[in-house]
């Protein structure tokens, strides 16, 4: 593993021990190797991008880190101390919050109810103890404003928010409830360019506030500008961890296993362009065109 580069002064100093660390973890489902001997660490004030193609084992690794799965081999460590998570609640209690691509908010519940789901503030006592809707609305409104979403009515259903706003709500919620490590599972993959930019900005500001962020993606364009370190997963195994500036986009692609295909496609397209320029007949559906969806 490469040493992390020095953090700029504006950020809190990286602690001596990583906030969250996976040490040579493996997970098997029957004969299938989901992940094997993978290590990963995230320090305070850092974004570690976990990169891998579909099926590389990113989801399994995330589920291990967030307490959904238990590793078959290897250990997890929080602040350098080995830990065992038997349920997502254990990870939450250790300050590790996971924001899933589409599984983190309830579209049919209001903003303030979503914000406090599982952590509802209550008031009154005995049998009259009840959900403090006023406080929930006030806190949710303030927290949403902090992350740049001005909510006039916190009774508004989350289903009326855009995809990026839903993700930022989930991030704000995790931070409000004391997360020190944010695991963002493909937070941008279902979003448009502008929406993705909003989410990336929130990942950066969470880092600037001293959180450790694990950012899972298969989109190199989203990872490169914000990552401090990059961990590559290919077919369930680690492709190494690299510091910012060590690699460019092409090298990252190659390490993820997509590089070879991309080069092949480029070569195909170049050849077709040549033939067209020479006036030769070009097949109606050129090689690799399905990948673009064939749309105008």
* 79 CB neighbour count, 10 Å cutoff: 16
Structure tokens at 268: 């195909």
**Of 25-33, 43-51, 113-121, 223-231, which part binds another protein (CB under 8 A)?**
113-121
Could you give the count of Cα atoms lying within 13 Å of 155 in the half-sphere of its Cβ? 2
- Sign of the Cα torsion 167, 93, 43, 2 reads negative
Question: 3-class SS at 220?
Answer: helix
85 binds another protein (CB under 8 A): no
117 binds another protein (CB under 8 A): yes
Q: How far apart are CA 234 and CA 231, in angstroms?
A: 10
Question: 3-class SS at 276?
Answer: helix
Please pick, from the candidates 94, 161, 203, 206, the single residue that binds another protein as defined by CB under 8 A. Answer: 161
193 binds another protein (CB under 8 A): yes
Q: How far apart are CA 241 and CA 39, in angstroms?
A: 9
232 binds another protein (CB under 8 A): no
Structure tokens at 146: 């902090």
| Residue (194 or 278) nearer to another protein, CB | 194
219 binds another protein (CB under 8 A): yes
| Residue (103 or 260) nearer to another protein, CB | 103
Q: How far apart are CA 70 and CA 148, in angstroms?
A: 37
Question: 3-class SS at 200?
Answer: helix
Please pick, from the candidates 81, 82, 129, 270, the single residue that binds another protein as defined by CB under 8 A. Answer: 129
Minimum distance from residue 247 beta carbon to another protein (Å):
21
Q: How far apart are CA 121 and CA 143, in angstroms?
A: 15
Please pick, from the candidates 47, 65, 78, 149, the single residue that binds another protein as defined by CB under 8 A. Answer: 149
95 binds another protein (CB under 8 A): no
142 binds another protein (CB under 8 A): no
204 binds another protein (CB under 8 A): no
Please pick, from the candidates 55, 82, 159, 225, the single residue that binds another protein as defined by CB under 8 A. Answer: 159
Residue carrying structure tokens 């460590």: 77
Dihedral, 142, 145, 147, 153 alpha carbons, nearest 10: 90
Please pick, from the candidates 19, 78, 151, 203, the single residue that binds another protein as defined by CB under 8 A. Answer: 151
Beta bridge partners of 106: none
Please pick, from the candidates 49, 69, 78, 100, the single residue that binds another protein as defined by CB under 8 A. Answer: 100
Minimum distance from residue 149 beta carbon to another protein (Å):
5
Structure tokens at 99: 């924001």
Please pick, from the candidates 39, 162, 237, 262, the single residue that binds another protein as defined by CB under 8 A. Answer: 162
60 binds another protein (CB under 8 A): no
134 binds another protein (CB under 8 A): no
163 binds another protein (CB under 8 A): yes
Largest alpha-carbon pair distance within the chain?
85
Task: Using alpha carbons, select from 81, 61, 71, 69 the residue that is nearest to residue 19.
Answer: 81
178 binds another protein (CB under 8 A): no
Residue ranges that bind another protein, judged by CB under 8 A: 66, 68, 88-89, 92, 98, 100, 103-109, 113, 116-120, 122, 129-131, 133, 144, 148-153, 156-157, 159-165, 190-196, 198, 219, 221, 292
């Amino acid at each position: 593993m490469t040493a992390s580069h020095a953090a700029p002064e504006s950020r809190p100093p990286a602690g001596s021990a990583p906030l969250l660390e996976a040490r040579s973890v493996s997970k098997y489902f029957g004969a299938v190797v989901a992940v094997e001997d993978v290590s990963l660490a995230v320090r305070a004030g850092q974004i570690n991008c976990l990169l891998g193609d579909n099926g590389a084992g990113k989801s399994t690794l995330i589920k291990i880190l967030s307490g959904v799965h238990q590793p078959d081999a290897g250990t997890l460590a929080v602040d350098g101390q080995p830990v065992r998570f038997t349920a997502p609640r254990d990870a939450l209690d250790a300050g590790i919050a996971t924001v899933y691509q589409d599984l983190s908010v309830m579209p049919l519940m209001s903003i303030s109810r979503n914000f406090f789901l599982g952590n509802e503030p209550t008031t009154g006592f005995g049998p009259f103890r009840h959900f403090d809707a006023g406080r929930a609305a006030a806190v949710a409104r303030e927290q949403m404003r902090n992350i740049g979403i001005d909510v006039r009515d916190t009774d508004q259903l989350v289903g009326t928010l855009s995809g990026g706003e839903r993700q930022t709500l989930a991030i704000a919620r995790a931070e409000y409830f004391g997360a020190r490590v944010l695991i963002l599972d493909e937070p941008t993959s279902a979003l448009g360019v502008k929406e993705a930019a909003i989410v990336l900005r929130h990942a950066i500001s969470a880092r600037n506030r001293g959180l450790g962020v694990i950012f899972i993606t298969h989109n190199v364009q989203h990872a490169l500008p914000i990552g401090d370190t990059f961990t590559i997963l290919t077919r369930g195994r680690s492709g190494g961890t690299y510091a910012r500036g060590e690699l460019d986009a092409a090298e990252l692609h190659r390490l993820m296993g997509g590089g070879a295909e991309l080069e092949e496609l480029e070569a195909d397209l170049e050849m077709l362009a040549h033939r067209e320029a020479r006036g030769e007949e070009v097949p109606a559906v050129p090689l690799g065109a399905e990948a673009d969806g064939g749309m105008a």
